[in-house]
Amino acid sequence: MSVTTASSAGIYSKAGSLSRERRWAMWTAYASLILAAIIFLAPPVYMFITSLKSSGEIANMQGNPWLVRSPTLENYSALLGNGMFLRFFVNSAIVTVLVVAITMVISVLAAFALARMRFFGSQALATGVFLTYLVPDTLLFIPLYQIVGGLGLLNSIWGLVLVYPTLTVPFCTWIMIGYFASIPKELDEAALIDGASWSQMLLKIFVPVAMPGIIAATIFAFTVSWAAFVYPTAFVTTPDQMPLTIGIVSQLVRADTFAWGQIMAGALLAALPPVVIYAFLMDYYIAGLTAGATKG
Amino acid sequence: MPADTLTAGRTPATHAPGSGSLQRFARRRSTIAFLMTLPLLAVIVGLVAYPAGYGIYLSTLNRTMVRNIGFGNYEILFDTDTFWSVAWQSCIFAITAVLLKALIGFWLAHMLHHIPAKGQRKWRGMLLVPWVIPPALSTLGWWWMFDPTYSSINYVLSIFAVPAVPWLGEPIWARIAVIMVNVWYGAPFFMIMYLAAIKSVPEQLYEAAAIDGANGWQRLRYVTLPMMANIISITVLFSLIVTFANYDIVRVLTNGGPRDLTHVFASYAFQVGILSGNIPRGAAVSLFMLPILAVCAFFVLRGVTRRNKEQM
């Protein structure tokens, strides 16, 4: 008797004072989280499983689809030896790097001006930035198709570099305004007294202090331009100018018999850069995600 | 370094004497500010505002874009059954998907908040994965899971003795499938937003409620929800905009089929405007998104400004 009371007391002391109700809540919490995790992770896991199957195994269509009987890397090696797939990757990389650079320059400059230098219409412009963020790409792609076509940039990655900033600049500017506005005014007063010019103030004070915000905005710009789908689908139809998303969807999925293993391997490889960035910079990623509504 | 000291020595000298140079300084400041915002203005005006206006103009032209036919395109659209089915499908799709995302997201955020803080990071990281993968690519995975002859979802269902579901073959199931994929992709975003909001509710309020004898449900109803009301509405309206304008999932999963019954405004506009080459009518289709987007945008903006004022 005394033994049981002692051991149960031990448990309670270890777990804090968990009442019956709280323990129930805990179990419900874990049960829902496990269920959600299974459902949320099932598609990528199944993509991975499929990517390890040979085309023969997929064509067989017998037995449990969630198991691999003879895992092989042939889909990955086929893709990495496929010049067209590598071309998609390079196109995506070029477009994304350029767009991220352009976006960050535009939005850091503008956010600094909007956060610190009150000028005629600055408030209206800040609101306008947020409104443009709410304009979806599917509303603009048809007129932009005409405009890009008029400039002779259809079927070219340069057309994409031109239009992607509409996806990235408004939100990045918006969160940078928030980060810059949270920097105490005393800092720039001190800098002004020391005789710093505006450019010095921006580069030596605001950019270093707001570095977390800049990283979050950069990650946002990167993921958005890497995942962009509407514009490349509308503007690019020649395979050698396609970025990854539309390249995989339109070129790998074209044959009469779908090479499912290769499609899944390609999709996973294409999803890798944003996922890797997310894995390493999760906190910045989440900060950027929540900043739109909670800051700024 | 020498440059620093140089400017440091020079700047005070330029605006030391009198108000005239001070005025000049102010003028210079606004000029600099204007120059700094110029690229942003170029993007907003040149790539958003001008195309939006141009789109409205385009929608009044005839197919060959040589003649202005006023509201002709809209009239033709109103007369076609496909257009009305697209409009219905867009609304059903957006409203159902956003409701489900908000409920699932809220539930998961609530559950995440309950487990010990040490484990939260790990779970959060895992549950946000659907949001991180580019949707066009993860939808390919879903497409393969819905495959009519070798559906892995039907395999799992058959374990529970559920008959095979014709996922993308029958209109009703195709519509459900599109919503499912959208919910799968978007629910993690709601979860993250709501988790951030739940965490910002001051602990003292719960203590006060507990002292007043509130049970778990009452704490949720009278403390958590009112404190989160603003962020809930911002997220829901924002997601309504994005979901209403969704394109990638429909394009990859069903491409509008079967019989054009899963088309939403965006994919139908693409079909009409780019693929069939009737650019003015495509522009007209996509402009039908504008009213509902404008309403949502208005309320989002109001919510965000109110929130900013509260925080200041």
Query: ipTM of the predicted structure?
Result: 0.85
Question: Quick one: B81-311 is in which CATH superfamily?
Answer: MetI-like (1.10.3720.10)
8-state DSSP, B68: B
CB contacts under 8 A, A 159-188 vs B, are 162-163, 165-166, 169-170, 173
Q: How far is A1 from chain B (nearest CA, A)?
A: 32
Asked if A50 and A158 sit in the same domain, the reply is no
B18 touches chain A (CB under 8 A): no
Q: Which residues contact B206 (CB under 8 A, 6 or more apart)?
A: B219, B223
Asked if A160 and A65 sit in the same domain, the reply is no
- Residue A3 in domain: no
Question: CA torsion, points B246, B251, B256, B258, in degrees to nearest 10?
Answer: -130
Asked if A55 and A171 sit in the same domain, the reply is no
Asked if A207 and A60 sit in the same domain, the reply is no
Q: What is the DSSP string of A160-215?
A: HHHHTHHHHHHHHHHHHHHHHHTS-HHHHHHHHHTT--HHHIIIIIIHHHTHHHHH
Tell me the three state secondary structure of residue A244: helix
Q: Which residues of B touch A237 (CB under 8 A)?
A: none
Q: Return the closest-CA partner of residue B113 out of B203, B12, B204.
A: B203
A225 touches chain B (CB under 8 A): no
Contact flag B138-A44 (C-beta cutoff 8 Å): yes
Asked if A271 and A144 sit in the same domain, the reply is yes
User: Could you report how far apart the first and last alpha carbons of chain A are, in Å?
Assistant: 61
Q: Which residues of B touch A110 (CB under 8 A)?
A: 36-37, 39-40
What's the Cα-to-Cα distance from A39 to each of B83, B129, B190, B236, B280, rounded to whole Å? 34, 11, 16, 22, 42
Asked if A33 and A80 sit in the same domain, the reply is no
- Choose from A40, A64, A148, A220 for mutation: most chain B CBs within 10 A: A40
Model confidence at A256: pLDDT above 90: no
pLDDT score at A14: 44
- Choose from B133, B185, B271 for mutation: most chain A CBs within 10 A: B133
- Residue A4 in domain: no
Q: Which residues of A touch B184 (CB under 8 A)?
A: 39-40, 43
A284 touches chain B (CB under 8 A): no
Residue A22 is part of which domain span?
17-74
Which pLDDT tens digit goes with each residue over B277-288? Answer: 888 888 888 888
Q: Which residues contact A76 (CB under 8 A, 6 or more apart)?
A: A51, A265, A269
Asked if A44 and A191 sit in the same domain, the reply is no
Asked if A246 and A274 sit in the same domain, the reply is yes
- Residue A1 in domain: no
Q: Return the closest-CA partner of residue B147 out of B48, B253, B50, B236.
A: B253
How many distinct structural domains can be found in chain A? 2
Asked if A98 and A46 sit in the same domain, the reply is no
What's the Cα-to-Cα distance from A244 to each of A90, A277, B141, B222, rounded to whole Å? 9, 17, 15, 48
Provide the mean pLDDT of chain A: 84
φ/ψ (deg, to 5) at A183:
-75, 130
- Residue A10 in domain: no
Q: Among A122, A128, A248, select the one facing B44 at the smallest CB separation.
A: A128
Contact flag B40-A147 (C-beta cutoff 8 Å): no
- Choose from B50, B144, B274 for mutation: most chain A CBs within 10 A: B144
Which of the pair, A116 or B18, is modelled with greater confidence? A116
- Residue A138 in domain: yes
Q: A15 pLDDT band (50/70/90 cuts)?
A: very low
Distance between CA atoms of B142 and B140, rounded to whole angstroms? Answer: 5
Which pLDDT tens digit goes with each residue over A123-140? Answer: 888 888 888 888 888 889
- Residue A187 in domain: yes
Model confidence at A240: pLDDT above 70: yes
Distance between CA atoms of A102 and A109, rounded to whole angstroms? Answer: 11
Q: What is the CATH number of the domain that holds A278?
A: 1.10.3720.10
- Residue A286 in domain: yes
Question: Which of the residues in chain B have pLDDT under 50?
Answer: 1-18
Q: Which residues of A touch B128 (CB under 8 A)?
A: 278, 282, 286
pLDDT score at B21: 66
pLDDT score at A25: 82
pLDDT score at A164: 93
Q: How far is B185 from chain A (nearest CA, A)?
A: 8
pLDDT score at B25: 62
A236 touches chain B (CB under 8 A): no
Which pLDDT tens digit goes with each residue over A172-224? Answer: 998 898 888 888 888 888 888 888 888 888 888 889 988 988 998 999 999 99
Q: How far is B245 from chain A (nearest CA, A)?
A: 6
